[in-house]
Structure 1
Amino acid sequence: MTAAVDTAAQPAAEAPALPAAGSSFYTAMRLLPKERREAMYAVYAFCRAVDDVADDGGPAELRAAELERWRADIDALYAGRPAARVRDLVGPVKEYDLKREDFHAVIDGMAMDAFTDIVAPDAATLDLYCDRVASAVGRLSVRIFGMPEEDGIRLAWHQGRALQLTNILRDIDEDAERGRLYLPREPLAAIGLDNPTPAAAMAHPRIGEVCAALAKEAEGHYRATWEIIRRNPRRATKAARLMAAAYRLYLVALLRRGWAAPRARVKPAKLALIGVALRHGIV
């Protein structure tokens, strides 16, 4: 799974999952007031649990059944009959008017990865995937942050795609090793790759053109993200600002490294990440 909220396996019966300490997501959530932070942790735990099903849930029929159980649990939550594993969402759903369709969209996004490996999706399918695994999480998040409705939805749309496209570009080689290729079909066809395997795409001498085009698309979403952030109250955009700034460091590092093989795994400089945390962690 190459989702905007990075996750790791944890049995559903354990205490609610928390983001990895030191991650940009963890740092961003620590900026929130206690009630909003705990609401975000509840959403994170849900996303992590359904991601675990998609990636590590056993045979396809078991994954399908478990994802259906999660859908049923969300429906029961909204009907006033919450199962134990979604009980931490009761308060956030009521307090912040979280939408059932966004929880369902997250499950649908995980299902896109759960049963067949995604290989060179067309542009519309890739955009749908980004919406489900990233922007849907964003729509839940901006309500908890306290953003105005219209700009909150716009921010989720652009920032989700910016973060997800960055993840895709960062993880292209690791995803290829798992038989996955999230780069869109149309630009791959333009360089002569029709129905490519992930390995063939990674070895193609012009793959950098496809990656550069996707990076340009991500940059456009980052610009739109910052336009929305700047016109909204700082208290409601603090976490979004930190996430946008931190993730863009990855994109900058990828562009600096380039796309020619062998592609070393990139990680922003620690001082740069600290600078982002200091700049955007101050009210």
Structure 2
Amino acid sequence: MGPDTTPAGLRAQIAGSSFYAGMRVLPKRRREAMYAIYAFCRIVDDIADDQQGDRTGRAKALDQWRADLDALYAGRHAGQGAFLKEAVAEFDLDKADFIAVIDGMATDVERDVRWPTEAELDLYCDRVASAVGRLSVRVFGMDRQPGVELSHHLGRALQLTNILRDIDEDASIGRVYLPLEPMVTAGIALTTPAEVTADPRIDAVARTLAVQARRHFDAARVLLRSRPKGYLLAPRLMEAAYARILGQMEQVGWQAPRTRISVSKPALIIMAVRLALIGR
């Protein structure tokens, strides 16, 4: 499944993402497999974030994906999951990782996530980010142990950075992914998402999470610099780009009003070229 066979909306999302700059340099079969994984993730994420659909309908849509994956792995007609067939077969992708992604999306369908415990947040990050990493490293050709380790650390680093970047966007739809324990320590009253994220003490909470994200980035960077087997420009690029975003957020802080920080597409391309040239 390459960009020419994906729906127009997904093609636009792929081409406009930081993901694209790293994926386009992969060999064709690996690139197409990554497009398929990305398309799956975008589809189920859109189900979870569909603010127009009711929770029952969105839960049924995710359950249909579970059924289609069951069919795919049983060798039956996979319905909407048919586009994953070649990638699953060629790279021995683990069904449990696809299901974990769906389980993570189901968390957002079941309720508006607000100040989860640190353990709940870590499980959520594993499902929506590290599980995607575990699928991806198979396509990248990594050996199992370093692949799982990289997925663990880089997935959590990226997801925690996204949470810190999207505080206001998430609050606008009733969600606050910042964890409970530092909220309590900071003395923030757990009232509404708008009030909680407007509290000036949210900066201390965010910085606690930023320390965790930084530790995961550091661990991922050490592993990548050990030059493990595989086509690793994409994870190197994601590490570099998101670590830069985290660093910029740490500089400006998280007190309201906040400005959403991103890396421009030209900057991503420059990073990709630099990383490819130096073989970091």
TM-score relative to the length of structure 2: 0.91
* Partner residue in 1 for 2:210: 215
Q: Which amino acid aligns with 2:10?
A: A
Greater alpha carbon shift after TM alignment, 220-229 vs 49-58:
49-58
Greater alpha carbon shift after TM alignment, 129-138 vs 256-265:
256-265
* Partner residue in 2 for 1:42: 36
Q: Which amino acid aligns with 2:119?
A: A
Matches within 5 A, 1:18-167: 18=11, 19-56=13-50, 58-167=53-162
Q: Is the 8 A contact 1:31 1:281 kept in 2?
A: no
* Partner residue in 1 for 2:190: 195
Greater alpha carbon shift after TM alignment, 262-271 vs 162-171:
262-271
The alpha-carbon deviation at position 146 of structure 1 amounts to 0.3
Aligned length: 271
Give, in whole Å, the separation in 1 of the partners of 2:169 and 2:209.
Answer: 17
Greater alpha carbon shift after TM alignment, 137-146 vs 232-241:
232-241
Matches within 5 A, 1:208-247: 208-233=203-228, 235-247=230-242
Give, in whole Å, the separation in 1 of the partners of 2:210 and 2:69.
Answer: 35
Q: Which amino acid aligns with 2:195?
A: A
* Partner residue in 2 for 1:8: none
Give, in whole Å, the separation in 1 of the partners of 2:231 and 2:9.
Answer: 25
Q: Which amino acid aligns with 1:277?
A: A
Give, in whole Å, the separation in 2 of the partners of 1:66 and 1:268.
Answer: 33
Give, in whole Å, the separation in 2 of the partners of 1:198 and 1:114.
Answer: 17
The alpha-carbon deviation at position 36 of structure 1 amounts to 0.3
Q: Does residue 10 of structure 2 align to residue 17 of structure 1?
A: yes
Give, in whole Å, the separation in 2 of the partners of 1:30 and 1:278.
Answer: 12
Q: Which amino acid aligns with 1:39?
A: A
Where in structure 2 are there 5+ consecutive unaligned residues? 1-5
Q: Which amino acid aligns with 1:51?
A: D
Q: Which amino acid aligns with 1:76?
A: A
The alpha-carbon deviation at position 144 of structure 1 amounts to 0.4
Give, in whole Å, the separation in 1 of the partners of 2:182 and 2:101.
Answer: 27
Residues 1:203 and 1:14: Cα distance change in structure 2 (over 3 Å): closer
Q: Is the 8 A contact 2:146 2:228 kept in 1?
A: no
Where in structure 1 are there 5+ consecutive unaligned residues? 1-12
Which digits, 9 at most, give the CA deviation of each residue in 1:226-281, with x for residues without a partner?
11111234752221101111111211121122122211222236664343122123
Residues 1:204 and 1:16: Cα distance change in structure 2 (over 3 Å): closer
Give, in whole Å, the separation in 2 of the partners of 1:51 and 1:36.
Answer: 22
Give, in whole Å, the separation in 1 of the partners of 2:186 and 2:257.
Answer: 20
* Partner residue in 1 for 2:181: 186
Greater alpha carbon shift after TM alignment, 93-102 vs 191-200:
191-200
The alpha-carbon deviation at position 15 of structure 1 amounts to 6.8
Which of these residues, 227, 230, 250, is aligned with residue 255 of structure 1?
Answer: 250
RMSD: 1.9
Give, in whole Å, the separation in 1 of the partners of 2:16 and 2:48.
Answer: 25
Q: Is the 8 A contact 2:21 2:268 kept in 1?
A: no
Which digits, 9 at most, give the CA deviation of each residue in 1:175-209, with x for residues without a partner?
11111100000000001125342122212121111
Q: Is the 8 A contact 1:17 1:45 kept in 2?
A: yes
